[in-house]
Amino acid sequence: MIDNKSKLQKNRTRQVSPKLPLAEYIRRHSPIKAGIRVLNEDIPLAKYNKITNNILLGNFQAAKDKDIFKTHKIRAVLNCSKEIPNYYSNHKDIEYMRIPVDDSLKQKDYDLMFQYLPVIVEFINKHANIANQKILIHCHAGRQRSAISVAAFMVAKCGKTPKEACKIVLDKRPEAFHFGKSLNFDQALNKYYRTYIKK
C-alpha cells in the first residue's frame, strides 16, 4: 500500500534554482533595463550622489568641486585612484586616504582591492558613523572602485549581503557598476564577505 502522505510530500518538493552570481544579479537590476534613458554612457549623469546622510559617492569632478565640499561640509575623502590629486589635502580639517587601485580588470587589482577593503571600511566608518561627518568616496567615474568601497562598508557595518549592498548603491547612483552592466570588483567584495563577515 502506498503512503499517500509521503507521495504528496514528494510531489511538493521542488528544485531550488542556483543563486545568481553577484554580477548577474546586478545586471538584472540595471537601471537601463528598468527604463532609465542614457544617451551617452560615457558622460556622467551626476558628479556625485548621496548614498546615506553622510556618504557621497562621486567622480573626479566631485573631487575638485569646492562648492560640493562647502555645501556638504566634507570632512573626509576616500580617493580610490592612483592618479587623481587630493585637491584639498592642504586643508587641515579634511582627512584624505588614497587607495591606489587600477580599474584594469586584472587579477592583481582584484587582489589589491580585497586587501584594501578592511582599511576602506574602517576609514568610512570612522567618519560616517563614529564622527558623524560627511565623506566623499570617489574614483575616476564613481562607478566601480568607489562604488564597491561603499558596498563593502554596507556589508560590514549595515548588515547587508553583497547583493543587497550593491543594489542600494545602484539605486542611489544609477551609473554605478556601469549602469549595472558590469561589476568589476565582485570577486573582491564576495571574498571580503566570505572572509570577514560570513564566518
Q: Would you kindly state where each structural domain of the chain is located, as residue ranges? A: 47-197
| Predicted pLDDT at 167 | 95
Distance CA 160, CA 22 (A): 13
pLDDT over threshold 50, residue 12: no
pLDDT in tens, 31-68: 766 666 766 777 778 999 999 999 999 999 999 999 99
Highest mean pLDDT among 19-23, 147-151, 172-176: 147-151
Q: Which three cell numbers stand for residue 38?
A: 542614457
pLDDT band at 29 (very low <50, low <70, confident <90, very high): confident
> By C-alpha distance, which of 32, 31, 34, 66 is closest to 47?
66
- For the domain made up of 47-197, give the CATH fold: Protein-Tyrosine Phosphatase; Chain A (3.90.190)
Would you give the DSSP letter of residue 15?
P
pLDDT band at 15 (very low <50, low <70, confident <90, very high): very low
Q: Which three cell numbers stand for residue 192?
A: 571580503
Q: Which three cell numbers stand for residue 187?
A: 570577486
Query: What's the whole-model pTM score?
Result: 0.85
Would you give the DSSP letter of residue 21?
P
